[in-house]
Structure 1
Amino acid sequence: MEMAVLPEVTQSTEEVTLEDIHLGDPAVNTAEEIDRLRRLIWRRRHLLIGKGNALPPAARGIVCDIDVGDAKPIAQWVRKVAPQFREKLSDLIEGLLGARIIKMSTSPWASPIVVIINKNGIDIRLCIDYRLVNSLTRLMIYPMPLINDLLEDLDKA
């Protein structure tokens, strides 16, 4: 089963300091390497989120191009939501819209949401059923970059 899960939104941000960044292994990395990486991350901290913050960093201007070949856009029907979860679903969607994690769409593509009940039986989680879209998607095969190459590129930026 392939479904995308949207994050829960809780607006809690604490200030993060340079000392909060724990990385490297003193048995493997020198203190200078750890300090260099810590300072590199600190210079790019605006790309990260604070401690305890459920909101991901903004990805403005990013375009995700999914190759579906010559498939025509598919708009699937909305699925029913149990009456006892409609208000919670509305609040969750309003929170995601307010946090600018999602936005209103005018796309000819539409996949249904699926409401999942959390283990506590009270809270809900919002998922999106992309199985049909995934079946039309052509896979793009690219080699994964090495972490050291990425760190070097970040250091040069």
Structure 2
Amino acid sequence: MAIATKGYESAEDDVVNVHEPTDVELTDYAQELTFLPDLSDLSPTHIDFSAANVLNLTLSFDDQAMLVNVLKTHRNIMNACGNALPPPAYRVVCDINVEHHVPIKRRARRISIRYLQKLYEPLKGLLKANLVSFSNRQ
């Protein structure tokens, strides 16, 4: 594969770099494997709305009832641990206000093996709640 880089210099200053492919064995990828969560268990998440982490003693009875109703309305975005997941962001590339500038798009990248366990449970929760989905885009 040949890559030509062109800048503001003259035509004779054009640089051509050649990148030769390397042979990679499957054993080289042994530490790079990622296992997606098993979503075959579709057991619903049971949430106790009278638990101590839901009740707020500083709220009035009406405000507490309103809080519980909001939580019940959005119970489908709760994961199995009882923690609320972030609200769904449909077709959002960047959530930072960039005015009229084009948002920055980042390609998917590999995740280090030491972070996979930390990522597994939140990813499983997001996939179960249908807040994210698989993509085949390159």
Which bracket does the TM-score occupy, shorter chain normalised? 0.3 to 0.5
Tell me which of the two structures has the higher relative contact order, counting C-alpha pairs closer than 8 angstroms and 6 or more residues apart: 1
